[in-house]
Chain A
């Protein structure tokens, strides 16, 4: 059975994000992910208030990165959240968003070692254990939380490239495949299976999510217009290999990135075309979205994350997902 997650970017007022979180829980979403960018509202403050106004939905950062936030702080945060909402917290971890990290002069150096060590630190510390570690990136000398933890927090790792996909499958409780197109997800599954084998896991011990950009509306043009800014960011941050797989010019992606970094939004968005939207989002009418989700499920994902923008009108689009998408996949 496929589960559904929803992502919110806390760029909006806290009470609006929380309102939509309550709505998402009421209509049956299983997971709620809050993005972590320095220039939006703080992820853990957002999650805390959401935890106070919800009862069932699982939630967590989608995703935090260890370049801006030391993994012991992430461990502290998720363990504290887990005390407030036991058993409902998940920790999404990844290398972060290139476009915003560049703004603070932060490079995503040694990503595999950084994620591997970060995941270990978060798992050990948030489980209440003391950690001694002399890693390539992090050195930890007997760090331990000063409070009792209730239960372990699952770690879902965001990944796109082959090595990170395999690593995520090997060390994570879940993989968040940063992709919306069935072709990319099908390609990812090869490397995920490598990681599962390397770890000696059973296939059902790993959750596999397609973490998509999503825009649903009864009017295709409105769904398209809504998703353009998000697709622009995705194109700007995508590796060359992925761009080439979808026939998207690497130079054009560079131009979009430059425009975004210099706040030239109109120019950046003007470069986004139908091919990019098709490659990097689930976008369109309910029928179109159901068709694409079906293809993703058939290639092996067990969670579909409906990432931003969700649609041209958040409240309406969440309801549309409930009434016109869920019945095809959820009992």
Chain B
């Protein structure tokens, strides 16, 4: 639920850039083996349908990126100029 709210707060104008960079984080992570298989399959489903740069796609990418590379994901949101998202992600990762 938290990630759904976070994804909803990413401006649509940044969906493409955010999804591209989250995909890079996930694909290039040395922690890739931590990706839950069901989450991987969901991401593949959205990728096949060109839906990664949507609210639901971003939610799944955020979930994956936070599992594999939480700090890099937070840094990405800082880079995109989204301090509220940064705060929400930090709050989520504390739980």
Contact = CB atoms under 8 A, between A and B. Distances in A.
Interface of A: 13-16, 18-19, 22, 53-54, 313-315
Nearest to B32: A13
A315 B24 contact: yes
26 contacts: A13-B32, A13-B33, A13-B35, A13-B40, A14-B40, A15-B35, A15-B37, A15-B40, A15-B41, A15-B43, A15-B44, A16-B32, A18-B44, A19-B43, A19-B44, A19-B47, A22-B44, A22-B47, A22-B48, A53-B45, A53-B47, A54-B48, A313-B28, A314-B27, A315-B23, A315-B27
Nearest to A23: B47
Contacts of A22: 44, 47-48
Nearest to B64: A15
The DSSP consensus for interface residues of chain B is: helix
Contacts of B43: 15, 19
Best-buried of A13, A15, A19, A314 by chain B (most CB within 10 Å): A15
Contact of B27 (A14, A19, A53): A19
Interface residues of B, number: 15
Closest 8 pairs between A and B when the two form their complex, measured CB to CB? A15-B40, A53-B48, A53-B44, A22-B48, A22-B47, A18-B44, A13-B32, A315-B27
Interface string B12-39: 0000000000011001100011010100
Given A16-B32, A18-B44, A19-B44, 19 more contacts: A13-B32, A13-B33, A13-B35, A13-B40, A15-B40, A15-B41, A15-B44, A19-B27, A19-B43, A19-B47, A22-B44, A22-B47, A53-B44, A53-B45, A53-B48, A54-B48, A313-B28, A315-B23, A315-B24
Contacts of A15: 35, 37, 40-41, 43-44
Nearest to A50: B44
Contacts of A54: 48
Contacts of A314: 27
Nearest to A316: B24
Contacts of B23: 315
A13 B48 CA distance: 18
A16 B47 CA distance: 12
Contacts of A16: 27, 32
Contacts of B45: 53
A106 B23 CA distance: 41
Interface centre among B28, B41, B43 (most CB of A within 10 A): B41
Contacts of A53: 44-45, 47-48
A14 B28 CA distance: 14
A259 to B, nearest CB: 26
Interface string B32-75: 11010100110111011000000000000000000000000000
A54 to B, nearest CB: 7
Contacts of B33: 13
B80 to A, nearest CB: 20
